[in-house]
Amino acid sequence: MQTKQKQGLSIQYQDNTFEVVLDGRKILEHTPTSPCLFVGQGEEKIEMYRGNYDIEDYVVERFGLKSFEVIEESHQGFRIDFKRTSMDSETLSVAFSYENQNLKLNFSGDREAFNRFWVRIAADSTENVYGCGEQMSHLNLRGKHFPLWTSEPGVGRNKKTYTTFLADVHDKAGGDYYHTNYPQPTFLSSKKYFCHVDTTAYADFDFRKDHYHELQVWEVPSQIMFETGESIKELVSRLTQHLGRQPELPEWTYDGIWLGMQGGTDEVQKKIDAARDKGMKVGAVWAQDWQGKRVTSFGRRLNWNWQWDENEYPKLDQKLKEWKEQGIRFLGYINPYLILDGELYKEAAANHYFVLNQQDEIYLVDFGEFECGIVDLTNPAAFEWYKGVIQKYMIDFGLDGWMADFGEYLPTDAKLHNGEPAMLMHNAWPMLWAKVNFEAVDEAGKTDDIVYFMRAGYTGSQKYCRLLWAGDQSVNWDLDDGIASVIPAVLSAGLVGNGLHHSDIGGYTSLHGNKRSKELLLRWVELAAFTPVMRSHEGNRPTDSHQYDHDEETMNAFIRMTDVHVTLAPYLKDLVKENAEKGIPVQRPLFMEFEDDALTYDLQYQYMLGEDVLVAPVYEESASQWNVYLPNETWVHLWSGEVFDGGNVEVSAPIGQPPVFYKKGSEYADLFEKIREKYTPAQ
């Protein structure tokens, strides 16, 4: 048995086995029957239909790199040269370099000989793992595998639901538990390390085996990084040191709800007046149709040409200023596609700014009822031009923010300006799209005043995406695609460094008979009050959906929950600041605050809002009581003031009083008491 030790990194080896230990954690174990590396060749078949991908892989070859040689290399580490057998000519060299609890594995040698790569990370059978981007069905990823490919997340997302069946049959759109707008090849282990693979290739992380995690990547990656921490919190903070952190939100974002509405200047004015007259604190209106609509055979759609539509929104240029003076901001909408024959399309086409197809024509993508070109963000000139579009038509026009939608639809047979295969750029697209937005705002010096929000993501979103939203939930109670799913979504996204998150109040997708009920909308607005941003959405079928202004009870609920949210603003701002400075997400899984409590590691429908507040949203229909797990601590029930000592408790949870608890000694207790005094009638 030989040993090499470099600070916290050690390798023990003899004959044909070795073990790599990082700060006391075994991370690689290599034996002839279970080598730590496999490589091979695959032939993928990929079909896209409106952002839904059907991906099949035919693995032509896959073999373990069983033979190895350990070579002393630098003062920070060592190198291992891997071969299938000692007789083989192809070598994969892995340099191990360690510094400050961080281990980098850098791959060199015959990387190009293989387009499939698998690494086995040593695991314990009791270990939990988290992350992989924004996961909407599972927080603890153990026991499942997670293909990592940005796409539509699916409608239903569970092959056992009828909604999923119908979405599959009609639109190939049902999805499954792993489909997400925001995947990321990063996971955190309860053994207190994270692992991040530096790749944008298709990947599939498999956490089904007892003794190893097998990470599949459709290239030999250039680098895999591990880092250890004393706590999960420290891990996330360390991860964001590498990947980046979100700046704070503009001050005005705390001033009230952002009301989603459409229909033109008069309609918006009418809704603002009505809400304000009732006493609602409206921080912003969000009008996704600011650039106009397009009437198709299916009805009203947005016009994907990102310039003010003066017909739809007359005098908007003046109104913006007026509303801002009254304390109401105005938010718009953009995405990385341009509608065929719009003005911007013509300009981009003339300048060759579009992604091309294999025939060197502009690649037109079907978005449901119309076709669009994709601005080629790998072309520096196109990137700058699109940044300019945002600056000229949105920032200079006076928008205070926007939904920066989509980013998942890059076809894999596209031709790109940078010459990279679209298979490798597909996952990179959400980051590039975020970067355009980031730089447009940053270079305009407006980071303190403007915010945009995105659903698509990948590595890099941490740095370039100011705020996530959870994408397009179905307007129902389904665990995998309804209101509940936004909770694992925020928690998993937060664990990989995206600390600011919110969701469409009421959900978005009405299809196959699903219609948004009043109860769902009311439960969603009370959930949203305990997130950094409250924003409502009319849904894809506004007339089929219950809306905040459909009756007085709903309006009052919105007024009340907005007031609760605004009351919490000092607390929320401090959390947002902590996220900006340390990368600690505003909403956190319980185990981040109570690491020693084993029962918290599988709780995916409760969360901590900062250190002091525990939120357990009601996500089932017709509930009036709710079961909550409270870690060992003295908790005060927000609405009743009742004190709990921890354990499983059942509390009253009528609509308007979601289960929320704060720590008895919280320095923000006065805020929470203010809420209780105002909203809980005297006994």
Give residues in contact with a copy of itself (CB under 8 A): 38, 40, 59-64, 85, 87-88, 159-160, 162, 165, 168-169
Q: In angstroms, what is the minimal distance from the CB of 135 to a copy of itself?
A: 21
Closer residue to a copy of itself in complex, CB, 75/160:
160
Among 134, 376, 405, 612, the one annotated catalytic: 405
Closer residue to a copy of itself in complex, CB, 32/445:
32
Q: In angstroms, what is the minimal distance from the CB of 474 to a copy of itself?
A: 18
Closer residue to a copy of itself in complex, CB, 5/41:
41
405 in catalytic set:
yes
Question: Burial of 230 by CB count in 10 Å (0-12 exposed, 13-18 middle, 19+ buried)?
Answer: exposed
420 in catalytic set:
no
| Residue 666 to residue 652: CA distance in whole angstroms | 23
| Residue 195 to residue 184: CA distance in whole angstroms | 11
Give 6's DSSP letter: E
Residues in the chain: 683
Among 204, 408, 478, 612, the one annotated catalytic: 408
472 in catalytic set:
yes
Q: In angstroms, what is the minimal distance from the CB of 165 to a copy of itself?
A: 5
Q: In angstroms, what is the minimal distance from the CB of 65 to a copy of itself?
A: 11
CB 674 within 8 A of CB 567: yes
> Strand, helix or coil at 616?
coil
CB within 8 Å of 641: residues ≥ 6 apart: 676, 680
Among 152, 248, 255, 472, the one annotated catalytic: 472
Q: What Å distances lie between residue 23 and 103, 322, 623, CA to CA?
A: 10, 59, 47
Q: In angstroms, what is the minimal distance from the CB of 488 to a copy of itself?
A: 23
DSSP for 304-353, written as a single string: -S-S--TTTSTTHHHHHHHHHHTT-EEEEEE-SEEETTSHHHHHHHHTT-
CB within 8 Å of 175: residues ≥ 6 apart: 52, 152, 153, 154, 155, 156, 157, 164, 167, 481
Q: In angstroms, what is the minimal distance from the CB of 87 to a copy of itself?
A: 3
Give 394's DSSP letter: I
CB within 8 Å of 531: residues ≥ 6 apart: 490, 501, 502, 503, 586, 587, 609
Closer residue to a copy of itself in complex, CB, 208/674:
208
Closer residue to a copy of itself in complex, CB, 40/263:
40
Q: What percent helix, strand, coil does the chain show, rounded to 5?
A: 25, 30, 45
| Residue 213 to residue 28: CA distance in whole angstroms | 10
Q: In angstroms, what is the minimal distance from the CB of 63 to a copy of itself?
A: 5
| Residue 58 to residue 43: CA distance in whole angstroms | 5
Closer residue to a copy of itself in complex, CB, 50/674:
50
Closer residue to a copy of itself in complex, CB, 178/508:
178
By annotation, the residues acting in catalysis are 405, 408, 472
